[in-house]
């Protein structure tokens, strides 16, 4: 008789996600507990969470990394599955998680994520597999303290679940809001590169987007995702151009000011934003 899976806690952070939370929580019927840490929602988020049996804790916003780290600390079980309110665990993914927890060979696992973009779940190119580390033993892995671009830091080996076991990302944002977010993120990236001593020249500005398009549209078969795939990859290519253009602008500002410190950018203004 096969061993029973180790107990698992699903952990979420929320803020005004009542309109899209139910499908996420329904997909978590296989876990042993659901922990929701809410940062001041004024919609039905907490009511929806409790309706699906979640343990709800209210906590002021700390930034993505610290908030997720705090949420994981509240779980009753060592193994945690960290998921966002607009994501859904497919039946195949639920089965694979249960299988690996019968006898884990690693302390953390990445899973493929399929992003819904312009009405279609992307399965090629840059949109898939969007490998996401969400399942881990919190005794040996934890979220970083980064306010944005948080990641799970581990002290051991990381496994991968099969590409057939997909985490579905039901992004509800409009194309306009997606573009606004990409503009903010490229500012953060440029600022980080500048502080790390990276520099951009005209060849980097031109070659980076071109090589990116070839890689994701042709080599990674993004062309099979139709128009949504083309738009998604084209935006990624422009992001690459914008990132290095902003880096170049910081270089020029620094040279004109006679200092190696970057000028204030909008990156500093968005570090505490919630997605």
Same-domain check for residues 148 and 202: no
Same-domain check for residues 226 and 91: no
> Tell me, what's the pLDDT at 84?
95
Residue that finishes a domain, picked among 153, 169, 185: 169
> Tell me, what's the pLDDT at 128?
86
> Tell me, what's the pLDDT at 260?
52
Same-domain check for residues 187 and 51: no
pLDDT in tens, 82-107: 999 999 999 999 999 999 999 999 99
Of 82, 273, 113, nearest in space to 187 by CA: 273
Structure tokens at 262: 């970057």
Same-domain check for residues 71 and 181: no
Same-domain check for residues 120 and 205: no
Of 34, 107, 37, nearest in space to 68 by CA: 37
Phi-psi region at 95: left, alpha or beta (left = phi > 0; alpha = psi -120 to 50): alpha
Q: Is the pLDDT of residue 203 over 70?
A: yes
Mean pLDDT of 115-135: 89
Same-domain check for residues 14 and 134: yes
- Per the structure, how many domains does the chain have? 2
Residue range of the domain that includes 243: 175-270
1 lies in a domain?
A: no
Global pTM?
A: 0.79
Confidence of residue 126 (pLDDT cuts 50, 70, 90): confident
Mean pLDDT of 36-43: 97
Same-domain check for residues 49 and 162: yes
Phi-psi region at 264: left, alpha or beta (left = phi > 0; alpha = psi -120 to 50): beta
Same-domain check for residues 80 and 216: no
Same-domain check for residues 13 and 147: yes
Same-domain check for residues 261 and 238: yes
pLDDT in tens, 142-164: 999 887 678 999 999 999 999 99
d(CA 221, CA 171): 22
Q: Cα 62 to chain center, whole Å?
A: 17
DSSP character string of 83-124: --TTEEE-HHHHHHHHHHTTS-SSSEEEE-EEEEETTEE--S
Structure tokens at 72: 């994981």
Residue that finishes a domain, picked among 146, 169, 192: 169
Residues 23-32: b if buried by 16+ CB within 10 A, e if exposed: ebbebbebbe
Same-domain check for residues 190 and 60: no
Same-domain check for residues 130 and 256: no
> Tell me, what's the pLDDT at 275?
54
């Amino acid at each position: 008789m096969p061993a029973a899976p180790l107990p698992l806690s699903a952990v979420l952070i929320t803020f005004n996600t009542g309109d899209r939370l139910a499908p996420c929580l329904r997909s978590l019927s296989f876990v042993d507990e659901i922990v929701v840490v809410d940062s001041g929602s004024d919609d039905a988020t907490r009511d929806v969470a409790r309706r699906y049996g979640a343990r709800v804790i209210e906590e002021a916003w700390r930034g993505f990394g610290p908030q997720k780290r705090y949420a994981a600390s509240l779980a009753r079980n060592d193994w945690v599955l960290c998921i966002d309110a607009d994501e859904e665990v497919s039946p195949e993914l639920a089965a694979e998680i249960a299988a690996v927890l019968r006898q884990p060979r690693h302390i953390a696992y990445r899973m493929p994520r399929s992003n819904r973009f312009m009405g279609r779940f992307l399965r090629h190119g840059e949109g898939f597999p969007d490998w996401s580390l969400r399942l881990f033993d919190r005794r040996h892995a934890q979220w970083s303290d980064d306010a944005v671009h948080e990641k799970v830091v581990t002290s051991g080996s990381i496994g991968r679940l099969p590409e057939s076991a997909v985490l579905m990302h039901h992004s509800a944002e409009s194309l306009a809001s997606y573009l606004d977010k990409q503009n903010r993120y490229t500012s953060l990236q440029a600022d980080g590169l500048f502080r790390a001593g990276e520099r951009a020249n005209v060849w980097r500005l031109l070659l980076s987007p071109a090589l990116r398009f070839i890689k994701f549209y042709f080599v990674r078969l993004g062309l099979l995702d139709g128009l949504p795939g083309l738009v998604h990859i084209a935006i990624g290519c422009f992001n690459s151009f914008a990132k290095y253009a902003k880096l170049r602008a910081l270089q020029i500002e620094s040279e004109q000011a006679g200092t190696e410190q970057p000028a204030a950018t909008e990156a500093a203004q968005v570090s505490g934003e919630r997605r």
